[in-house]
Structure 1
Amino acid sequence: MLQSKSKKHLSLILPLAMTMTFTAACGGNSGGGAAGESKPAAAGAAESGKEAAKTEGPVKVVYWHAMGGELGKAVDKLVADFNASQKDVVVEAVFQGTYDESLNKLKASMDSKSGPTLIQVYEIGSRFMIDSKAITPIQQFIDADKYDISQLEENILNYYKVDGKLYSMPFNTSNPILYYNKDLFKAAGLDPEKPPATYEEVAEAAKKLTKDGQAGASFAIYGWFMEQFFANQGAELLNNGNGRTSLATESLLASDAGVKTLTWWKGMIDDKSMMNLGRKTDDTKKAFAAGQIAMTLDSTASLRGIVSAAEGKFEVGTGFLPKPSDAKEGGVIVGGASNYIMNNKSEAEQKGAWAFIKFLADPKQQAYWHVNTGYFPITKKAYDEQLVKDNLTKYPQFKTAVDQLHQTKANLATQGAVMGIFPQARQLTEGAIEEVLNGKKAPKEALDAAAKEITAKIAEYNKTTAK
């Protein structure tokens, strides 16, 4: 029987780890080990979910998610299709607001059984979810079912693996790419089919693209971008293998990778080839659509919206996330979220949740999800679906995102950092970027201060989870 864990441990770490006051992007460690395990009972889980029905009538699985608007409609369609595909499990999808709001509601439900069977959690909540001891690792179901994960994208799975074990199943996945205005590139004498690939090339192009009423570029002040710039240089954001060879104890934000990135960014602000539009990515999207800026960074999940907003005005080009010309091998880290099965629910409910997870990973469902949301398919064979082929014909820019994912070099840098206080760390990073761009501090000074504060918060978190 899948056993419910004591919630005493969770109540200790929640007050610290749940101080999440921002909305995440579309972005555990080796110290986690068996932290999230309950007794193996996934043994014998049926492929179709038929064994999930241990009582009369279908098993009900409550699924909490943070997908609003059109994304929510896509989730509802997948749930309806799953429910119609078999009679043993009924999934009830419940929108819980932002990722932060959803996790806070999970916290409130821990003393009772009013919470979900399955919950979508953003990628930077991974360390916390493992430390909570409130989940049944997906690996248990994979092993019991002999489920073939080789059909899934390795560079997506890598983020959610700890010691080679999957604690959750990836769901919505994205990474950042460079968007640029091909028409403005032509007007400036730049090759519209050759986007800048390095920091140096971006800075040079931005100068040529800047004129009255138009800036060469604008990047939102977003911690996720800094995390990605580190990975693209093959640089780790935290010590102890990005918090994966053992628990992270120190932030490396002020290392050469961070200073180099922020110096480059500030240099473009200083020569007025870059516009600072603050923290909201929506503001840079609007400026890009209006032709006020020629280059920006955004999630791959925003691609359809960005291309549609420019339709009839200019052609949108896409390029890989830029990196320094002397960067080590790296790539991008996946952003988005994954699905966790809670261990305080019955064995039948947990197996029902697993059946739904497998349904979501099916190529046909992944093709639908990708085309209707812009998130990557987690299943390789989804690219063979005609729906996906037609979508790539309509939005050829998305090939850039797919190529960037596939060309990412798998290492501890691109696997992504894991820490229990990631939301706070991201905010502190954004504060440091803001101070530098606004001329209040030099790059090294701002990053040193932020790194020191992040390190202190990591120590506090680690001390709390050790109780």
Structure 2
Amino acid sequence: MRMSRRAATATAALVTSLLTLTACGAADGSGGADSASGKVEGEVTFQTWNLRAHFKDYFEGIIADFEEKHPDAKIKWVDQPAEGYPEKLSSDAAGGTLPDVVNASPDLVYPLAKAGMALDLEKAAGKYREEYLDEAWQSNQMPGMPGVYAFPWYLNTGPMFYNKHLFRKAGLDPEKPPTTYDQLFKDAVSMARKSDRKIAMLASTPSIEDFGRYGVRLMNARGTEFTFNEPKGVELLRHYKELYAAGALDSQALTAKAESSGRKFQQQSVAMNPGSALDLETFKKEAPSLYKNIGITDTVNNTGRANMYVQGLMVNAQSNVKPAAVAFAHFVTNKKNQMAFAKQVTIFPSTKGSLDDPYFTEEDGTDATRVRVASAKSLKNAVNYTPVLLSDQMKTVLRNAVAKALQGEQSPKAALDGAVAECNRLLKTG
């Protein structure tokens, strides 16, 4: 089960393959919302994404409960492997075999909504809106389209780990890790100087999420153009260039992957890195000297809001059993069932009030609760900073631009201007 599951490259292919459907479908995605009201009956095909292997009993229990409550409805559960899932959605959509209820992240919902194949739940099920966190509900709004196209399901985020011992050695307060980018930049340079450039604060270059957390406007209000080259974006990249020159950003950051960043943190050559409860368990076994000095804090941001990863349940606008499909998608994502799911795996409910449960607010001394409590706290007002329309190809464009700026091949402004121009070109050409 992958928590973030960003499949944007395949999403671009999905967009392309559905363009022909957009012309003949309901371009606003409404798909006949009025028909979503009515008797809950018929067979609903429910498709999840790589969940059966570990959560078979949980889902079979939910299905049994729903069918008991609605005896005229039956649920047919199918689970698809993670590999090739976007392509499977594309094939089903093009062939008219898209399931009635589909597990999908916002980036996968977008092309289906554009093709008129995702039901507008703002119209069809707006009465349920108040049950969900506002940002979670809004995460399934699509650029340039009115409405919401999936029920928010489970959420995730990640805390930031930091090494208290390295903070002390650098003369930094280990109980006051940086919470803003200005403080991060200041502390990072200080650490590099005190360690004679042997210890870097960070091991990775800024991603689109960093631009969002810094307070950069990533797209225009209509969602038709990228705008992360605005002055604030240039300012962020200029700071990272200074970090790189000072040795405060790891020398291999331009080519580093998440795994290598984690290894450097474990080797204690990097002072801060995002992580999870599983990482804590690894540190405890493999790096006890690091483990005893681990601090946990929110990811640095200037907005006061952490990043939110969202999974949802989309209802097929062309379904012949819309009332039952809407009822079941809501049932799976209601407060009770989301809470039960969260106690089986490290995810977080998208329903209001759930994050105030003692399960998410009280520590018991274990690694799992340390991370769970910290993450749940940050999710209460988190947002999804990654634009729905940002493909993997666009991410590569941004990554290359950042590398050019850090290495001095281009100025931060020129690098970002070029990246935005190319991303906007890709956006227009599909």
- TM category (shorter chain) comes to 0.7 to 0.9
Q: Residue 38 of structure 1: which of 25, 31, 41 is its match? A: 31
Equivalent position amino acid for 1:92 in 2: W
Instruction: Write the mapping of 1:354-393 to structure 2, written as runs, cut at 5 A.
Output: 354-389=326-361
State the aligned residue count: 394
Q: Residue 284 of structure 1: which of 257, 261, 265 is its match? A: 261
Equivalent position amino acid for 2:136 in 1: I
Instruction: Write the mapping of 1:302-313 to structure 2, written as runs, cut at 5 A.
Output: 302-311=275-284, 312-313=288-289
Equivalent position amino acid for 2:265 in 1: F
Alpha-carbon distance, 1:164 to partner: 6.8
Q: Residue 393 of structure 2: which of 420, 424, 435 is its match? A: 424
Q: Deviations for 1:133-157, whole angstroms, at most 9, x for unmatched residues?
A: 11112234414xx33x223111222
Aligned: 1:293 with 2:270: yes
Alpha-carbon distance, 1:380 to partner: 2.6
**C-alpha distance in structure 1 between counterparts of 2:57 and 2:174, whole Å:** 38
Instruction: Write the mapping of 1:144-163 to structure 2, written as runs, cut at 5 A.
Output: 146-147=127-128, 149-161=129-141
CA contact (8 A) 1:233 1:331 kept: no
**C-alpha distance in structure 2 between counterparts of 1:373 and 1:220, whole Å:** 28
Equivalent position amino acid for 1:295 in 2: M
**C-alpha distance in structure 2 between counterparts of 1:52 and 1:167, whole Å:** 20
The corresponding residue for 1:464 is none
Normalised to the residue count of structure 2, the TM-score between the two structures is 0.79
**C-alpha distance in structure 1 between counterparts of 2:364 and 2:218, whole Å:** 34
Normalised to the residue count of structure 1, the TM-score between the two structures is 0.73
**C-alpha distance in structure 1 between counterparts of 2:161 and 2:245, whole Å:** 22
The corresponding residue for 1:337 is 311
CA contact (8 A) 2:135 2:381 kept: no
Equivalent position amino acid for 1:230 in 2: F
CA contact (8 A) 2:125 2:326 kept: no
**CA pair 280-417 structure 1, distance change in 2 beyond 3 A:** closer
CA contact (8 A) 2:103 2:313 kept: yes
Alpha-carbon distance, 1:439 to partner: 4.3
Q: Tell me the SS of whatever aligns to 1:52.
A: coil
Q: Percent identity over the alignment? A: 18
The corresponding residue for 1:76 is 56
RMSD of aligned C-alpha atoms? Answer: 3.3
Alpha-carbon distance, 1:416 to partner: 4.8
The corresponding residue for 2:107 is 124
**C-alpha distance in structure 1 between counterparts of 2:415 and 2:429, whole Å:** 22
Aligned: 1:96 with 2:81: yes
Instruction: Write the mapping of 1:40-439 to structure 2, written as runs, cut at 5 A.
Output: 40-45=33-38, 51-54=39-42, 59-65=43-49, 67=50, 73=53, 75-87=55-67, 88-98=73-83, 101-143=84-126, 146-147=127-128, 149-161=129-141, 165-175=147-157, 177-210=159-192, 211=195, 215-221=199-205, 226-239=207-220, 241=221, 246-248=222-224, 250-275=225-250, 276-277=252-253, 278-296=255-273, 298=274, 302-311=275-284, 312-313=288-289, 314=291, 315-323=293-301, 329=303, 331-347=305-321, 350-389=322-361, 394=366, 395-407=369-381, 416=385, 418=387, 420=389, 422-439=391-408
**C-alpha distance in structure 2 between counterparts of 1:207 and 1:316, whole Å:** 21
**CA pair 376-422 structure 1, distance change in 2 beyond 3 A:** same
**CA pair 168-384 structure 1, distance change in 2 beyond 3 A:** same
**CA pair 205-72 structure 1, distance change in 2 beyond 3 A:** farther
Q: Tell me the SS of whatever aligns to 2:326.
A: helix
